[in-house]
Amino acid sequence: MNTAITTTAGQVVIGRIVEETTETVVLRPNPLAPETVTVRKSDIESREFSKTSPMPAGLLNTFSQEEILDLLAYLEALGDAQHPNFAP
């Protein structure tokens, strides 16, 4: 889940927290890129979970019906390979 941080200067940084210390929070805005943004905790005005999904808009539209059903079966089974959803 992504976190949205608003700084005291009004900048908004959204990303997945990859590291947190007593003094800083490090976020990765793009999960497919190695770049990170470091924000000092003393500069944080507010911090909350992002209300926007990190999934690209329309991603599901690229899936076939079979891929969608496979995804739903996986989610329902919570990844358990022994779940009845995966029975032959």
Question: Which domain does 23 fall in, by range?
Answer: 1-52
User: Does 19 map to a domain?
Assistant: yes
**Is residue 69 one of the residues assigned to a domain?**
no
Give a yes or no: residue 2 inside a domain.
Answer: yes
**What's the whole-model pTM score?**
0.65
Structure tokens at 6: 């608003």
- Give the helix ranges, DSSP H, for 1-88: 65-77
The domain tally of the chain equals: 1
**Interval 25-51: pLDDT, tens:** 999 998 888 999 999 999 999 999 998
pLDDT at 59 over 90: no
Q: Is residue 38 part of a domain?
A: yes
The CA dihedral of 42, 8, 35, 50, to the nearest 10 degrees, is: 110
Task: Provide the CATH number for the domain around residue 43.
Answer: 2.30.30.100
Residue 64 lies in a domain: no
Specify if 20 maps to a domain. Answer: yes
